[in-house]
Each structure stands twice: as structure tokens, then as C-alpha cells.
């Protein structure tokens, strides 16, 4: 399970990484979207399921955020398929594209 610790207030991190669409779903990147309506606070309460088009196929993964006070931890959990390895670089790319700094990246 890839885990990213990111500098910045957690609410700022979530607002820069995720966008709420008109239907109330969270979106990340070009094609990722939550399977059910969700808000930023839902990410802090429990995992939110996303579906995304990664490496020429659809993958589902859960995202959960943890407010660290002076930072934010994002935990990503795939479905256990051999394609889950593509999720880490995909999410890392969006974190850095949002102008955020990853302080720790690990597998928990």
C-alpha cells in the first residue's frame, strides 16, 4: 500500500489534489473519479473508492487521508492485482504536478 506524506495543511493538500465535480464526486488527474459522491472530509473519515484509467486499463483503488497537523498522509490501497504497481507513480505525478512536496514515500 503506497503511502505519501506531504508538506502543507491537509485541507490544502486535498483541495489541490482533488476537485469536486457537479455530481458531487471527487476527481483526481485526468480520469480518476470517486465511485460515489464524496467530499474532502470523507477522505479524512475513511477510504474513498476511485476508478481511474492507468496504463491502458481501468483500475480501482481506495484513498484515505490523515491530518498530521503540519502535513498530510495519503494512503492508497489497490485491489491486489499485478497492475497495482502502476498506481504509485500515477498518484506521485499528480502530487508533484499540484506543486506539493512529498516528504516521505513508503509502503505501509
Domain ranges of the chain: 2-107
Note the pLDDT of residue 103: 95
Q: How many angstroms separate the CA atoms of 12 and 14, rounded? A: 5
Note the pLDDT of residue 26: 97
pLDDT tens digit sequence for 25-81: 999 998 999 999 999 999 999 999 999 999 888 999 999 999 999 899 999 999 988
Instruction: Give the torsion through C-alpha atoms of 12, 34, 95, 41, to 10 deg.
Output: 20
**pTM for the whole structure:** 0.92
For Cα atoms 20, 4, 36, give the angle at the middle one, nearest 5 degrees. Answer: 30
Residues 36 and 25 sit within 8 Å (Cβ to Cβ) = yes
- Fold entry, domain 2-107: Alpha-D-Glucose-1,6-Bisphosphate; Chain A, domain 4 (3.30.530)
Instruction: Using the predicted structure, report yes or no on whether residue 13 has a pLDDT greater than 90.
Output: yes
Note the pLDDT of residue 108: 73
Cell of 23: 455530481
Amino acid at each position: 500500500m503506497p503511502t505519501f506524506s506531504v508538506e502543507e495543511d491537509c485541507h490544502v493538500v486535498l483541495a489541490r489534489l482533488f476537485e469536486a465535480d457537479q455530481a458531487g464526486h471527487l476527481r483526481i488527474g485526468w480520469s480518476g473519479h470517486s465511485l460515489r459522491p464524496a467530499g474532502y472530509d470523507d477522505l479524512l473519515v475513511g477510504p474513498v473508492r476511485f476508478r481511474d484509467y492507468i496504463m491502458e486499463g481501468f483500475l480501482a483503488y481506495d484513498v484515505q487521508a490523515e491530518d498530521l497537523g503540519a502535513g498530510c498522509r495519503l494512503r492508497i490501497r489497490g485491489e491486489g492485482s499485478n497492475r497495482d504497481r502502476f498506481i504509485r507513480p500515477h498518484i506521485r505525478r499528480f502530487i508533484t504536478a499540484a506543486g506539493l512536496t512529498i516528504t516521505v514515500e513508503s509502503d505501509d
